[in-house]
Amino acid sequence: MSAAPQLVVHRDKELMAQAAAARLITKIVDAQSARGSASVVLTGGRNGNGLLAALAAAPARDAIDWGRLDLWWGDERFLPDGDPERNYTQAREALLDSVPLDPRRVHPMPASDGPFEADAAAEAYAAELANAAGPEDHGEVPTFDVLMLGVGPDTHVASLFPELPAVRETERMVVGVHGAPKPPPTRITLTLSAIRSAREVWLLAAGEDKANAAAIALSGAGEVQAPAAGAYGRSRTLWLLDAAAASQLPSSLYPPAIA
Ligand SMILES: O=C1O[C@H](COP(=O)(O)O)[C@@H](O)[C@H](O)[C@H]1O
C-alpha cells in the first residue's frame, strides 16, 4: 500500500518548522498512548534541523515521554564521531542534548572513525534495525511511526541521490553511498524499501532552492531521476512546504490557501 502525497504549505520556513514540530509532538504522544512507545526517523539538513530546534523551543515538548522514544536516522554523512557536519552531531545540538532520552533507544548511524568502512557500517546498521523489528513489523525494519526526510535541491532524500546505485537498491535496507555529488562523498543511507516501511513519511521542503525539486518530484517523475518521488509511507505521505518551496508547483497541486 502507498499513500498519495498530501501537501501543507506554510507562509515561511520558521512557521513551517514550528507547525511541523507541533505535528510531531502530537504524533509521538498519540503513538506512545496507543502502543506504549514511539519511533521516529530523523533527517539531517537545514529543514530537519530547523524542525528539531523548533521542537526544542516548544513548551509542549514536555508532553512527550522522552524515555519511550526510539530515534533512528535516515542517512548519515560518513565522518568521524563529533564532526560538526554529521547529522547526529547537528541533531544533538538542535535538540537531543536538551531532552531526557534513553540512550539505549537512540540509534545514530556509525561514524567513520569506528570499526567499519561505509559498506560494513551500513550492514551493521541494517542488523541493528532488523534486531529491533518485531513479528508485528512488515520485514527487516521496525514500522516507524514517522520518518522525516529533507528534500535536496536536486530531489535527493536521505542520501539517495538521482541516478546513483543506492536509489536503485531493492533488496537491502541500508547501503553505503560513494561519490555523492554533495559533500561528503561517502555516506550511509536507508533505501527506498526501508523508507516505505514507515507509517508516515514527511518530506520537508522550505526555501526557494527547493521549489524546482518539489515541482519535479510531485509531477510524476521517476524515483531514479527524482528520489523524493519514491518516498512514501504506508498510511500517509505528507509534504510540508513553505510558500517559496511551493512556488513552482503545478496549480492542480497547489492548495487553495496558505496555512
Ligand atoms: O546532506 C543532506 O542533505 C539533505 C537535504 O538537506 P538540506 O540542507 O538541503 O535541507 C538531508 O535531508 C540529508 O539528511 C543530509 O544528509
88-102 pLDDT tens trace: 999 999 999 999 999
Does any ligand 1 atom lie closer than 6 A to the CB of residue 207?
no
Number of domains making up the chain: 1
Centre of ligand 1 from the C-alpha of residue 2, in Å: 24
Does any ligand 1 atom lie closer than 6 A to the CB of residue 45?
yes
Q: Does the pLDDT at position 250 exceed 90?
A: no
Cell matching residue 163: 541516478
Q: Does the pLDDT at position 137 exceed 90?
A: no
The pLDDT of residue 255 is 55
Exposure on the CB side of residue 188, measured as CA atoms within 13 A: 27
CA distance linking residue 26 with residue 30, whole number of Å: 6
Site to substitute for ligand 1 among 76, 151, 210, most atoms within 8 A of C-beta: 151
Q: Which residues lie closer than 8 Å to 32 by C-beta, 6 or more apart?
A: 38, 64, 65, 68, 69
Residue in this structure with the C-alpha cell 518548522, named with its chain if needed:
17
**What is the reported pTM?**
0.96
CATH number, domain with residue 126: 3.40.50.1360
Q: Answer yes or no: is 164 within a domain.
A: yes
Site to substitute for ligand 1 among 77, 85, 156, 164, most atoms within 8 A of C-beta: 156
Does any ligand 1 atom lie closer than 6 A to the CB of residue 44?
yes
* R_g (Cα) of the chain, nearest Å: 17
CA distance linking residue 47 with residue 90, whole number of Å: 12
pLDDT in tens, 16-26: 999 999 999 99
Contact 112, 76 (CB under 8 A): no
Q: Answer yes or no: is 256 within a domain.
A: no
The pLDDT of residue 259 is 54
Q: Answer yes or no: is 51 within a domain.
A: yes
Distance of CA 142 to the CA centre of its chain: 15
Residue 193: what are its φ and ψ, rounded to 5°? -60, -45
Output the residue whose Cα is nearest ligand 1's atom 8.
Answer: 45
pLDDT in tens, 82-132: 999 999 999 999 999 999 999 999 999 999 999 999 999 999 999 999 999
User: What's the mean per-residue pLDDT of the chain?
Assistant: 96
Does any ligand 1 atom lie closer than 6 A to the CB of residue 189?
no
Contact 166, 119 (CB under 8 A): no
CA distance linking residue 257 with residue 259, whole number of Å: 6
Q: Answer yes or no: is 89 within a domain.
A: yes
Does any ligand 1 atom lie closer than 6 A to the CB of residue 152?
yes
User: What is the residue range of 114's domain?
Assistant: 6-249
* Interface predicted TM-score (ipTM) of this complex, two decimals: 0.97
Nearest to 217 by CA among 160, 259, 166, 145: 160
Q: Can you tell me which atom of ligand 1 is nearest the CA of 87?
A: 16
The pLDDT of residue 1 is 47
Q: Answer yes or no: is 258 within a domain.
A: no
Distance of CA 148 to the CA centre of its chain: 3
The secondary structure of residue 239, as a DSSP letter, is E
pLDDT in tens, 150-190: 999 999 999 999 999 999 999 999 999 999 999 999 999 99
Cell matching residue 200: 508516515
Pairing of β 174-177 and β 5-10: unpaired
Contact 145, 200 (CB under 8 A): yes
